[in-house]
């Protein structure tokens, strides 16, 4: 399963309980995933090993990071798993959330490394952290008690993504995407986009392109287009 | 969900760890199920309440039984959830196992009480117990480590059988999208985008925004941005 076009990295952001980390490792191994990244985790004591059962290797090979950016590294796409689909980064910026099934269908025929972030057991992910992500995924639960255990949520996501169709469309590298956004930012300044709206609009642009999952070729075309715009502004 | 034609009862057969029972209760409440039956359970101590979190009501209202038959009672259908899809009750009796998705499709248009049995954490269900069931359900896992935590398995099953429709975000009108693309096309001509590449790039742009499924508000922001670019090109 994890030999397919889409590779999955599970990223736990500041998990509070080591039993949950072990539980997530077990679930990953059940569905044949092994790329686990931990950002400032709690101490991994006996309970994490007990819950991991026969997935000790996944637990022991987990990478430890001090920042999310370090953990997601070279991912082509960063997805936040959240139990608050209604949560908005900012009042005026839409951050639609997709179900695991919708995400699965979107990723069909594509290839690349997808990092899926799971937040703290008590407070989830902060708005700033959500801002780093390209898309938001939420599991459709009931309204009365929507908050799932982190390892349950992870299990549902991996279960759903485990039978994704193999694809060959290569997603743009994170490095090239960052260059494109820098370029876009530069263009915005060049056209004297109002300072007070700049950050908001940049975030919106990231959301839009994040949802599009650009290919390398598309990024190049868009950058060429921006260069041409700049040329015409300057001459 | 539990208001549909199909009602679901979760039956745990001789669970060994009270934390798992609490975990199952939480997951049930997440997906709006509340009918939990326990057959000769372990003692339900602190850990079951800790793991149940805000699903204490499900835990406390669980019915306790001394036999499976007593627990499944008036069920229209009894399904065994097992991690051993290859296991056979008898050499000569085929007992095919279905995935949760297959079960879901089978139950469509039907109505009744479905009891789903989950066996002991270590030994699962015995052949005799499997013999009491109408169908066997197995979650498709990897081959190396197929054995899932009982609350994980239960979560996947309930997630799959619940089928909550998501709310709908209002997307941009086709009319406004067309205006935006015309505007974009105009801008491309203004920056003297090469004729021979124009159609291809316009199509690519349409694909990108098409995948994003823009809102009306996003379309307005993008058009404002284009107007500003044009202003700077012209002056």
Residue A231 touches partner B, C-beta closer than 8 Å? yes
The residue count of chain A comes to 235
Using a CB–CB cutoff of 8 Å, tell me whether A150 touches chain B.
no
Residues A6-38 pLDDT 10s: 899 999 999 999 999 999 999 999 999 999 999
Task: Flag if B142 and A1 touch (Cβ within 8 Å).
Answer: yes
Residue in B closest to A29 by C-alpha: B145
Q: Does A209 touch chain B (CB under 8 A)?
A: yes
- Among A95, A96, A86, A83, CA closest to A138: A83
Percentages of chain A per state (helix, strand, coil), in multiples of 5 = 50, 20, 35
Q: How far apart are the C-alpha atoms of A6 and A114, rounded to whole Å?
A: 7
Two structure tokens written together for A92: 């005026």
The region that residue B32 occupies, defined by phi over 0 for left and psi between -120 and 50 for alpha, beta otherwise, is left
Which residues neighbour B180 within 8 Å (Cβ) at sequence distance 6 or greater? B209, B219, B222, B223
B18 contacts B44 by C-beta, under 8 angstroms = yes
B32 shares contact with chain A (CB less than 8 Å) = yes
Instruction: From chain A, pick out residues whose CB is under 8 angstroms from the CB of B149.
Output: 23, 26-27, 51, 53, 151
Give the Cα separation of B233 and B227 in Å (integer): 10
Once rounded to an integer, what is the mean pLDDT over residues B213-229? 90
In this prediction, residue A166 carries a pLDDT of 78
> Is the pLDDT assigned to residue B32 strictly greater than 90?
yes
CB contacts of B26 in chain A (<8 Å) are: 145, 148-149, 152
The token pair that represents A11 in the structure block: 């990223």
Residue B105 in contact with partner chain A when CB distance is under 8 A: no
Please tell me if residue B227 touches chain A, with a CB cutoff of 8 Å: no
Residues 57-96 of chain A whose Cβ lies under 8 A from any Cβ of chain B: 85, 92, 94, 96
Alpha helices in chain B (DSSP H): 18-30, 46-52, 56-60, 68-72, 100-107, 127-130, 150-161, 174-190, 195-212, 216-234
CB-CB under 8 Å, B162 with A159:
no
Look at residue B45 in the predicted model and tell me its pLDDT. 93
Contacts of A51 in chain B (CB under 8 A): 149
The CA distance from B226 to B116, in Å, is 57
Q: What are phi and psi of A215, to 5 degrees?
A: -90, 165
Query: Any idea what DSSP says for residue A40?
Result: S
Between CA A167 and CA B61 the distance in angstroms is 47
Instruction: Give the residue-averaged pLDDT of B83-101.
Output: 65
How confident is the model at residue B164, as a pLDDT? 41
| Tens-digit pLDDT profile for residues A123-175 | 999 988 988 888 899 999 988 999 999 999 999 999 999 988 877 888 898 89
Task: Determine contact, residues A121/A5, Cβ cutoff 8 Å.
Answer: no
Q: Tell me if B9 sits within 8 A of B27, measured CB to CB.
A: no
What is the CA angle A10-A11-A14, rounded to 5? 145
pLDDT in tens, B150-195: 999 999 999 999 874 443 556 677 788 889 999 999 999 999 999 9
Residue, of B104 and B232, whose pLDDT is higher: B232
Residue whose tokens read 């002991």? B120
Chain B CB contacts of A216 under 8 Å are none
Q: What whole-number distance in Å separates Cα of residue B12 and Cα of residue B192?
A: 70
How remote is the C-alpha of B176 from its chain's centroid? 35
Complex ipTM tops 0.90: no
The answer to whether A50 and A22 have CB atoms below 8 angstroms apart is: yes
Residue found under tokens 């008690």? A145
The β-bridge partners of B216 are none
Pick among A156, A213, A224 to test the B interface (most B CBs inside 10 A): A156
Say what the pLDDT of residue A84 is: 64
Mean pLDDT of chain B: 86
Mention every residue, 6+ apart, whose C-beta is less than 8 A from residue B78: B72, B114, B115, B117, B132, B133, B134, B135
pLDDT tens digits for range B200-214: 898 788 778 866 768
Minimum CA–CA partner of B3 in chain A: A142
At A202, list the tokens. 């940049």
DSSP code, position B135: E
């Amino acid at each position: 399963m994890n030999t397919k076009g889409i590779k999955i990295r599970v990223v736990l952001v500041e998990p509070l309980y080591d039993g949950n980390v072990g539980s997530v490792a077990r679930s990953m191994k059940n569905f044949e995933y092994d790329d686990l990244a931990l950002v400032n985790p709690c101490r991994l004591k006996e309970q994490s090993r007990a819950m991991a059962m026969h997935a000790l290797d996944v637990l022991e090979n987990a990478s430890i990071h001090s920042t999310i950016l370090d953990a997601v590294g070279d991912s082509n796409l960063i997805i936040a798993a959240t139990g608050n689909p209604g949560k908005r980064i900012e009042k005026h910026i839409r951050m639609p959330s997709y179900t695991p099934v919708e995400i699965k269908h979107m990723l069909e025929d594509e290839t690349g490394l997808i990092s899926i972030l799971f937040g703290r057991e008590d407070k989830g992910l902060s708005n700033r952290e959500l801002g780093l992500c390209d898309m938001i995924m939420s599991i459709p639960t009931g309204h009365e008690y929507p908050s799932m255990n982190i390892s349950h949520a992870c299990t549902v996501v991996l279960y759903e993504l485990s039978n994704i169709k193999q694809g060959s469309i290569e997603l743009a590298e994170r490095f090239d995407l960052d260059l494109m956004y820098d370029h876009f930012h530069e263009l915005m300044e060049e056209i004297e986009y109002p300072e007070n709206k700049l950050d908001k609009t940049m975030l919106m642009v990231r959301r839009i392109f994040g949802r599009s999952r650009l290919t390398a070729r598309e990024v190049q075309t868009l950058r060429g287009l921006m260069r041409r715009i700049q040329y015409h502004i300057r001459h």
